[in-house]
Structure 1
């Protein structure tokens, strides 16, 4: 289970990096499309935006699986770190929804995404270190 825990932590961290890349792609695509005369309105979307939305949902599911797996492994502070990841992912969804009404809060959405990657990566690194066993004698 340690390997599964580690893999899930790494997948979450990598997925967040891909999220950052996708939203950058979305922004530059919007700028190019607007420059080319495309009307940017409520019905406009591009690949980067669509990917960012779908992958965000996938990260939420991975985080929940990560938490479940954390109860089946002996990673030091593994449950705590997985719980923090789930909490940060929940906050990420709230920040995404609120940021459409208050765009300046999108800054917190970006920073929180980096926190998710950091905590998930730290959790994965913890799983790579074998747990200490106490022996007598």
Structure 2
């Protein structure tokens, strides 16, 4: 379970990197289209970068965060549940900031800042899982049985 925890945490960090790349791609595509005479307004179709950003941010990363939180209860990593809960909270905050940014664009800056926090925390959680020592497994049968005479 420790390796599953580690992989999930690092996939979330990778998802944040994909998010940054896709939002940059989306806006550079918009700028290129506008330079070529296209009009970008509320009737514009989303491009590949914007769609990728939305799909990864609204579906993939939240799903990974939920699964990580569940796995954290079984992974036996010191502080693993705490770090998974922080990641889950940052993901929830990220979604709220995304929606808030449409109404108040300055909130979009916090959306970007929170993404960096999520990247850092998910990376730290993955690293902590990789460095975690295996938990001691107690042989419950030996503990509950009286010694043989």
- What interval of TM-score do these two structures reach, taking the shorter chain for normalisation? over 0.9
Alignment of structure 1 residues 32-47 onto 2, 5 Å: 32-44=32-44, 45-47=46-48
Unmatched 5+ residue regions in structure 1? Answer: none
Contact 1:9–1:120 (Cα < 8 Å) also in 2? yes
- How far off its partner does 1:76 sit? 1.2
Distance 2:120 2:88 in 1: 13
Q: 1:104 aligns with which of 91, 103, 106?
A: 106
Runs of 5+ unmatched residues, structure 2? 137-149
Q: CA deviation at 1:132?
A: 6.7
* C-alpha distance in structure 2 between counterparts of 1:50 and 1:37, whole Å: 22
Describe the SS at the equivalent of 1:41. coil
Once residues 6 and 132 of structure 2 are traced to their aligned partners in structure 1, the CA distance between those partners, rounded to angstroms, is: 12
Shift of the 133–52 alpha-carbon distance from structure 1 to 2, 3 Å rule, reads closer
After TM superposition, the structure 1 = structure 2 runs for residues 46-65 of structure 1, keeping only pairs within 5 Å, are 46-56=47-57, 57-65=59-67
| 1:114 paired residue number | 116
Extract structure 1 runs of 4+ deviating beyond 6 A.
none
Task: Call closer, same or farther: CA 1:41–1:133 in 2, change over 3 Å.
Answer: closer
Q: In angstroms, what is the RMSD of aligned CA positions?
A: 1.2
Instruction: Provide Cα deviations, 1:26-52, integer angstroms capped at 9, x if missing partner.
Output: 111111111111111113211110000
- Which protein shows a greater Rg? 2
